[in-house]
Chains A and B, each alone.
Chain A
C-alpha cells in the first residue's frame, strides 16, 4: 500500500464495517498488520537459499574432493569428487572418522591438521598421501580451511583435495628423461670433442676411434628422434653394435683417411 510520506508498505488489512446502534454503517474499522519487514526477510531468505543451492551444486559437481569434518575428525559432508577420488560413497563416508582415508603411517598428520584448524589457520596446497577404499595409495594436494558458525566459532574444517598421482608420475618421468638427456648430451659432446680431436690425428688408430664416435652420434640422434616422436618405430637389432658405421659416414671417414695420408 502506498503512503505519501513513507512510500510503499506491505500491509495485511481486515476491514470491518463500523455501525451505529441502529445498524447504519458509519464507516469502517481497519485492523492492519505491517508485513513489510517480514516480506523483506522472506525474500532475503529465499535469495540466500538459492545462493546456497547454487553453491551446493558447484561443490557437488566439482572434480576435486570437497569434504567437511567436525573438530572430532568426523566426516560431515562428502561430495561426488570425494567419491571419485577416495572410492567411498557419501553414505559410507559421512559419520565415519576422516582417518578412513589416511594411511597408518600418516595418522599423526590428522592431529596436527586439526590443531592448526582449531587455531584458525588455513593450510594451503599441502601435498600428502591418502588411501583409497580399495587400499591403493594416492598423492593429493590438499587445502584445509576452518569452518565457523554464525557466531564466528570454529566448528570444523573443510578440505579440498586434488588427486595429483598422475601429475607426480609424469613429473618423475620428465625428470628421469631430462637426466637421461643431460647424461647423453654430455656423452655426445665428449664424442664430438673426441671426433674433432681424432680427425686431426694422423694415425689409423686415432682415426678408428673417431669413426666409433661418429657411430654413437648417429645412434643417439635416432634415440632422440624416437623419444621426440619423429620416428614411429625403432628396431634395435639393426643397431646392435656401436661400431657399426653407416655407409655414408664410412665413406666420409675413408675420404678423411685418404686425405690424412
Chain B
C-alpha cells in the first residue's frame, strides 16, 4: 500500500474514493427492487429507481427531469400534494 505524498495526490485519492462510493450508491439505488424517487422542490423527478420506472412502463432516464404532474396526472398529483407540502415545510 502506498501513501499519497503531495496534497494534490491526497485530494485525488479522496475524490476517487467519493466517486467510487457515489457510483456504488447509484448502482444500488438504481437496481433496488424497491420503488424509490427523489424529487426536487420544483416538482420534477431527480432520480427514479429501475423498479419505479418499470411500474410505470418506462426507463428511468425517460422520467428523470420530467414534471411529476405530467406523469401522474392531475388526479394522482392531488393525492400526493398534501404530503409534499408537509415535507417541503419540514426545515
Contact = CB atoms under 8 A, between A and B. Distances in A.
B80 interface: yes
Contact of B46 (A2, A4, A24, A27): A27
B6 interface: no
B90 A25 contact: yes
Given A26-B40, A27-B46, A29-B37, A1 B87 contact: no
Interface stretch (A31-39, A59-67, A84-92, A169-177): A31-39
Interface residues of B, number: 29
Interface residues of A, number: 25
A25 B84 CA distance: 11
B76 A2 contact: yes
Nearest to B47: A29
A24 B91 contact: yes
A27 B38 contact: yes
B16 to A, nearest CB: 21
Contact of B56 (A6, A26, A30): A6
Interface string A1-14: 11111100101010
A167 to B, nearest CB: 64
A1 B40 contact: no
Contact of A15 (B46, B71, B79, B84): B84
A252 interface: no
Given A1-B72, A2-B79, A6-B56, A27 B41 contact: yes
Contacts of A17: 87-88, 90-91
A25 B35 contact: no
A18 interface: yes
Interface string B37-69: 111110000100000100111100000000000
A213 B55 CA distance: 100
Contacts of A30: 35-39
A28 B34 CA distance: 16
A3 B39 contact: no
Interface of A: 1-6, 9, 11, 13, 15-18, 23-34
20 contacts: A2-B79, A5-B56, A6-B55, A6-B57, A9-B55, A16-B87, A17-B87, A23-B91, A25-B87, A25-B88, A26-B41, A27-B88, A28-B38, A29-B38, A30-B35, A30-B37, A32-B37, A32-B52, A33-B34, A34-B55
